[in-house]
Amino acid sequence: MKQQNEPFRFDEVDELAVNSIRILSAEMVERANSGHPGMPMGFAMIAHILWSRFLRYNPDDPFWNGRDRFILSAGHGSALQYCLLHIAGYNLPMEELKNFRQLDSRTPGHPENFLTAGVETTTGPLGQGIANAVGMAVGQRYVREQLGLHDTNGFDPLDHTIFVVASDGDMQEGISSEAASFAGHQKLGSLVVLYDDNQISIDGSTSLAWSEDVGKRFEAYGWHILRADGLNPEEIYQSIHDAVNEKNRPTLVLCKTIIGYGSPNKSDKSAAHGAPLGEEELELARKQLGWEYPPFTVPDEVYVHYARNADEGRQAQEQWQRSLDEWLQNHPERIKLWVQLMMGRLPEKWDERLTYDPKGEAMATRSASGKALNAIAPALRPLLGGCADLAGSVKTMMKDQGDFQPESPGGRNLYFGIREHAMGAIANGMAMYGSLRPYTGTFLIFSDYMRPPIRLAALMRLPVIFLFSHDSFGVGEDGPTHQPVEHYAALRSIPGLYVFRPADVAEMFEAWRFAILKEDAPVGILSTRQKLDAIDRTIYAPGKETWKGGYVLAETNNTPSPKVILIATGSEVTLAMRAFEVLKEKGIGVRVVSLPCWELFEEQDQSYRDEVLPPHIKARVGIESGITQGWERYIGDEGVMLGLNHFGASAPGNVLAKEFGFTVENVIEHVGLVLK
């Protein structure tokens, strides 16, 4: 946060800047004939005071590690952020504002951090930004403690504030409650949420569906609560000042605003929320605000005002860099940690303990995942994470690495509570802080609760590791409510997400190795509750083949070429291998293909894929304990599929396997069908 050395004054240039934001935002929406003008017009005063008096930034280096963070959780108000970035000197020229919401512009309908410099995270689905910010605050506290920044003699390179702008919609979405409850428990004092309390949503007044006291709710979570009139600059300034000086609790500032402020006929109405004002109303707004400038004009005085702020940021970064260099010179033992935690450099030999017995061991793959995690944890300090109250079941606990709590901020095991949705979005925020490598854990069935943040992780190309155990009807007695059926297909349908379903210890360890080395995409790793047979990798294909996504695991050698191919994933590879032994005894040429990661397999050359699944071999049997959607690409028109296109049932897993036909006998029957 910038130092406040002078008393607060609000003058004509400030008023001009606020109205610049109001009118420019409305003009952007009008030109696009699409968007949300009301939020930027109502929140402009608060945004201006934040950016001109408090926010520490350098438009020349948008991702400087010492900057404050600005997260627009109310992503529908993106015109506000684009106006601020433009006026503040970021690489976002006026032409981009004129191309708001148009193809190939850097001003899309909702902010995208991989597209627009200065945008910290991709928001739009309401509540995600708040939870991302919580994750950033977690990351900040963790890195500070790991680096030992409590003994820097006054210099702390990560002493910054994470500001969030949230709307009524953010507050209504359940994820914000989950994330706020977690943040309050963790006492994340660097987090400040500015709540745009205008009490208007698309359908009308929020009173149609909402009558709670948001301040009291957040107070119950353990937050520091402040209130301000969103049109009173002195109140706004004082509230933000008090918020950033509260170090022991996150702060919520309830800013009472008027949506569409300046529009004589649409302010304080839902008509200003999600549609252009219209040319006539926009002209009336110009007159009401005394705006006499041509369209898409920012007065020179406003640019000059913000240029001073940018210069302050540049100077702050220069001083910050000098202090950081000096501190690192005085603490050379922390240089390696800095480059790991903040610059993305993996330590040497980080995976030297990630070894497994090639002869295999019968084991549930959730246990194999836990072993892999604990093999790499001591050497990989950027790795931290936890589970949604299922650490013992999903095997997400790192031994001897401590718990992340207010009194132990350097702990690496997080307890997310039963908050799957927030857990995913918090992990995304952690991944955006420095170079952290967060992981989450829960049962696969509850990936339904996590789909929005998983999707956004893929969109943003974040290296988050999503661990899911209990990945089939092998869960057994818990019944169909806990037995995933459609979830393999659901996760595979997300572009950019790598989904692994390992068959044994070897595939699980290699999936983890891939996940750590894959720095530009999220990875989902699915594991079993039940033990799976050992696969002797001295006889069959080595585990490193997992990196190809699909490979020939086993093949009879008593025929020139196989007559039938068994294709399976995860626990069903065990079944395929058992059937393989029987078919081999019968003298039938058979190949077993393990397909642990479809996405990786599809990235291989066509020649390799044809080598694994020769086009001329039409006799194929796919085996997977889920819906058969998508399998047609591998089994073809003449193959058959042993899947599960219905919900499960409550019974022991071995009983269900027989009931649902996941038996060696049934696999062999399916082979008979394709060989006819």
* Residue at 627: amino acid letter: I
| Three-state SS at 216 | helix
For residue 76, CA distances in Å to 8, 128, 155 come to 31, 12, 37
| Three-state SS at 302 | helix
**Contacts with 485 (C-beta within 8 Å, 6 or more apart), sequence order:** 473, 626, 627, 644, 645, 646, 647, 648
Pairwise CA distance, residues 670 & 639, whole Å: 9
Give the active site residue among 173, 178, 235, 420: 420
Q: What is the DSSP letter of 629?
A: T
* Residue at 19: amino acid letter: N
Q: What is the DSSP letter of 523?
A: E
Q: Give the β-pairing of 204-205 and 224-229.
A: unpaired
**Contacts with 125 (C-beta within 8 Å, 6 or more apart), sequence order:** 75, 452, 456
420 a catalytic residue:
yes
**Contacts with 616 (C-beta within 8 Å, 6 or more apart), sequence order:** none
Pairwise CA distance, residues 550 & 545, whole Å: 7
Sort 312 into a burial class: Cβ within 10 Å, 0-12 / 13-18 / 19+.
Answer: middle
Judge whether 182 and 386 are in contact, CB under 8 Å: no
Q: Which two tokens stand for residue 99?
A: 């191309």
Sort 72 into a burial class: Cβ within 10 Å, 0-12 / 13-18 / 19+.
Answer: buried
List the one residue out of 334, 3, 316, 381 whose CA is nearest residue 152. Answer: 334
| Three-state SS at 351 | coil
Strands of the sheet with 437-443, listed across from one edge: 413-415, 383-387, 437-443, 465-469, 523-526, 498-500
**Contacts with 63 (C-beta within 8 Å, 6 or more apart), sequence order:** none
Beta bridge partners of 469: 443
Helices (H) and strands (E) in the chain, counts: 24, 20
Q: What is the DSSP letter of 634?
A: H
Tokens 């409305």 belong to residue: 26
**Contacts with 7 (C-beta within 8 Å, 6 or more apart), sequence order:** none
List the one residue out of 470, 576, 595, 465 whose CA is nearest residue 528. Answer: 470
Pairwise CA distance, residues 34 & 107, whole Å: 12
Q: Give the β-pairing of 383-387 and 437-443.
A: parallel
Pairwise CA distance, residues 175 & 185, whole Å: 16
Judge whether 96 and 107 are in contact, CB under 8 Å: yes
Instruction: Return the half-sphere exposure (C-beta side, CA atoms, 13 A cut-off) of residue 634.
Output: 29
Judge whether 465 and 441 are in contact, CB under 8 Å: no
Catalytic residues: 420
